[in-house]
Amino acid sequence: MKNAPNYLTEDNSLRSWLFTTDHKRVAILYFVGITLFFFVGGAAATLIRLELIEPQGHLVTSDTYNRLFTMHGIIMVWFFLIPSIPSTLGNFVVPLMIGARDLAFPRLNLTSWYLFMVGGATTLYAIFRGGIDTGWTFYTPFSTMYSNSHVVLAITGVFIAGFSSILTGLNFIVTIHRLRAPGLTWYRLPLFLWSLYATSVILVLATPVLAMTLLLVGLDRVFGIGIFDPARGGDPLLFQHLFWFYSHPAVYIMILPGMGVVSELVACYSRKEVFGYKFVAWSAVAIAGIGFFVWGHHMFVSGQSPFAALVFSFMSFVVAVPSAIKVFNWTATMHKGRIRYDAPMLYALAFIGLFTIGGLTGLFLACLAYDVYVTDTYFVVAHFHYIMVGGMVTAYFGGLHYWWPKITGRLYPEYWARAAAILIFFGFNMTFFPQFILGVLGMPRRYHIYPPEFQIWHVMSSTGASILAVAYALPLFYLGWSLFFGQRASANPWHTTGLEWQTPSPPPKHNFETTPVVKRKPYDFTIKGKPRAQNA
């Protein structure tokens, strides 16, 4: 019924939006927030790439350059990547996928958004007041004793946003355990939920350590306590242990949701159930678990003991295995599938390829001897951008397009979407592949003045970045257009499985008229061309 009220039309006052506890509306609030921060972080990236076109660095001073890459890192990591899929797509889709009417704690959900925005505003204010020059990693004793920038303000912003993360993770864990529809056993859950569950475990267990770490840095700056100061008996490496204990699992917070999205996309657009469902499901859990044992690989040359370095190196090789299992299983899923190359599928394919490159270069870095050579060079920068941008951001766009009809009730324009996906892929590789070469040639990261023989690679990278910028702007236009002029979507425009497609697009306020009862496994395409819904 076209005119039945849905969660968007139910009540359109500003008050109803700002005080909403509806997970779908909170998801949209988050979407607005992270898009804003994506552009702020992107602006910093633009300035960085402009600066790096010339070897002598004429655009900005070294001090400003330090503040630019710090700002880029802080905003992108904590205010875009970490919340992106969980707080937007996750918030929207999780209750729908499990047949629930909302998350377990709707008011905590809204609180988490406010915390996110307050944290973001605080950080933006720190940037507005002149920024911070320590790098997003806040290494001591520079951050605690010598930096003259707005360290305390910036870490306060991140500290507040951390609580937002924790609340989201807490909500998802309890919801997935306790609010599943009747018949929805763990092995009938879509893989997106297994990934989000694993992500939530990391959110809940790792983020508090970041909170403590930042608190100690703040106390050190404000009261001069000095627990990381060597002259007072402290160990700067203790900061690094504490920081990376969170920040390494944090990268899995960032990538696991993307992997979950890719599982959904590959199944839908190959019209086949995911190969080795249980392996893919448990590999998410394995990544989350093993990911807590590898943080020292960020500290190979910092001065930790060789024994510890050895253990961390070994575990870093081990953690690659479950990721590889996923890549193999996605590929096997596509084999003999009936593949449709719609935009979400293009993003999924891009993810698989780019994540594999990023992941393999991670193995290079896990190797102690090789890491000594390329650590703190552009090799590392390229590695993590392949995973974060080539992987995570790509998956985010794929999921956004896939669930767009469900969220907005409109179809996006397919040809524009495919064009944007292809342009993104092209721009991305042109930006970041030269950076692997730069790294191996010896270009250090966080430097803006470099020998002239590196210029050709930097120019290539910056050219790619300008293409990428245009490519990322495109969805803003055609998705925005679709909100007003896009074709209206049916409940299940992709003819796929999953409970979220068994309710109208957009869904009514409480998601389902009656609680669905699940009878089938997920991704049941056994009858050719006819998906069988989980509750049919």
Partner 1 sequence: MHKMPDAQPAFQFVDMRQQHDVARLGMWVFLATEVLFFGGLILSYSAYRTGYPTGFAEAARHTKIVIGTANTAILLTSSFLVAWAVTVARLRDSRFAALLLWTAALLGVVFLVLKGVEYSAEFNEHLLPGFGFAFSGPHIHAAHLFFSFYLVATGLHAVHVAVGIVVLVVIGLRAHQRAYSDLYHSPITVAGLYWHFVDLVWIFLFALIYLPGRGG
Partner 2 sequence: MTRTRRPPRVLLLSWLALLALLATTVTIAYIPLGVANTVIAIIIAAVKGAIVAAIFMELRERNPLTVTFAGAGFFWLGIMLWLALADYVTRPNFPPVMKWGL
Please give the residue ranges that form the binding site for partner 1 (CB under 8 A): 95, 100-106, 166, 170, 173-174, 177-179, 204-209, 211-213, 215-216, 219, 223-227, 232-235, 238, 241-242, 510
- DSSP-assigned states of every residue in 242-256: HHHHHHHHHHHHHHH
Residue 312 contact, options partner 2, partner 1, none, Cβ 5-8 Å cut-off depending on partner type: partner 2
- Is residue 413 within 8 A of residue 481, CB to CB? The reply is yes
Query: What would the two tokens of residue 493 be?
Result: 């425009």
323 or 511, CB closer to partner 1?
511
Residue 212 contact, options partner 2, partner 1, none, Cβ 5-8 Å cut-off depending on partner type: partner 1
Using the rule CB under 8 A, is 163 a contact of partner 2?
A: no
Using the rule CB under 8 A, is 245 a contact of partner 2?
A: yes
**Shortest CB 172 distance to partner 1, Å:** 10
Q: Which long-range contacts (CB under 8 A, 24 or more apart) does 456-463 make?
A: 458/52, 458/53, 458/55, 458/434, 459/53, 460/430, 460/434, 461/49, 461/52, 461/430, 461/431, 461/432, 461/434, 461/435, 462/49, 462/50, 462/52, 462/53, 462/431, 463/430
Q: What is the largest CA-CA distance in the chain?
A: 72
179 or 440, CB closer to partner 1?
179
Q: Is residue 436 within a helix (H) or strand (E), and if so which, with residue range?
A: helix 414-441
Nearest of 163, 165, 159 to residue 91 by alpha carbon: 165
Convert residues 174-193 into a mask of x (bound to partner 2 by CB under 8 A) and - (unbound). ---x----------------
Place of tokens 């880029």: 72
How many residues interact with partner 2 (rule CB under 8 A)?
25
Using the rule CB under 8 A, is 368 a contact of partner 2?
A: no
205 or 437, CB closer to partner 2?
205
End-to-end CA distance of the chain: 21
- Is residue 441 within 8 A of residue 454, CB to CB? The reply is yes
Nearest of 28, 22, 40 to residue 103 by alpha carbon: 22
Q: How many CB atoms within 10 Å of residue 515? A: 12
184 or 388, CB closer to partner 2?
184
Using the rule CB under 8 A, is 146 a contact of partner 2?
A: no
**Shortest CB 456 distance to partner 2, Å:** 41
Using the rule CB under 8 A, is 396 a contact of partner 2?
A: no
104 or 345, CB closer to partner 1?
104
**Shortest CB 167 distance to partner 1, Å:** 9
- Is residue 479 within 8 A of residue 412, CB to CB? The reply is yes
Residue 296 contact, options partner 1, partner 2, none, Cβ 5-8 Å cut-off depending on partner type: partner 2
116 or 228, CB closer to partner 2?
228
Distances (CA, A) of 473 to 34, 77, 309: 15, 20, 42
Interface residue with partner 2, options 293, 364, 416, 481 (CB under 8 A)? 293
192 or 312, CB closer to partner 2?
312
Interface residue with partner 2, options 8, 43, 108, 205 (CB under 8 A)? 205
Interface residue with partner 2, options 99, 296, 413, 506 (CB under 8 A)? 296
Using the rule CB under 8 A, is 233 a contact of partner 2?
A: yes
**Shortest CB 308 distance to partner 2, Å:** 4
Distances (CA, A) of 57 to 48, 60, 132, 475: 10, 7, 20, 33
Interface residue with partner 2, options 31, 113, 136, 312 (CB under 8 A)? 312
Distant-in-sequence, close-in-space partners of 447: CB < 8 Å, separation ≥ 6: none
Interface residue with partner 2, options 31, 37, 292, 501 (CB under 8 A)? 292
Binding part of the chain for partner 2, among 132-140, 229-237, 386-394, 403-411 by CB under 8 A, reads 229-237
Using the rule CB under 8 A, is 154 a contact of partner 2?
A: no
For 333, phi then psi, to 5°, come to -60, -40
Place of tokens 């392996």: 279
Using the rule CB under 8 A, is 226 a contact of partner 2?
A: yes
**Shortest CB 175 distance to partner 2, Å:** 14
Residue 398 contact, options partner 1, partner 2, none, Cβ 5-8 Å cut-off depending on partner type: none
Q: How many CB atoms within 10 Å of residue 104? A: 18
**Shortest CB 255 distance to partner 2, Å:** 20
Using the rule CB under 8 A, is 212 a contact of partner 2?
A: no
**Shortest CB 170 distance to partner 1, Å:** 5
Using the rule CB under 8 A, is 301 a contact of partner 2?
A: no
Nearest of 398, 391, 356 to residue 269 by alpha carbon: 398
- Site residues (CB under 8 A) for partner 2, limited to 435-494: none
**Shortest CB 188 distance to partner 1, Å:** 19
The vertex-483 CA angle with 480 and 484, nearest 5°, equals: 105
Strand partners, 444: 377
Q: Is residue 408 within a helix (H) or strand (E), and if so which, with residue range?
A: helix 394-408
Interface residue with partner 2, options 146, 307, 415, 484 (CB under 8 A)? 307
Task: Name the residues that contact partner 2, by CB under 8 A.
Answer: 177, 205, 209, 224, 226, 230-233, 235, 237, 241, 245, 292-293, 295-296, 303-308, 311-312
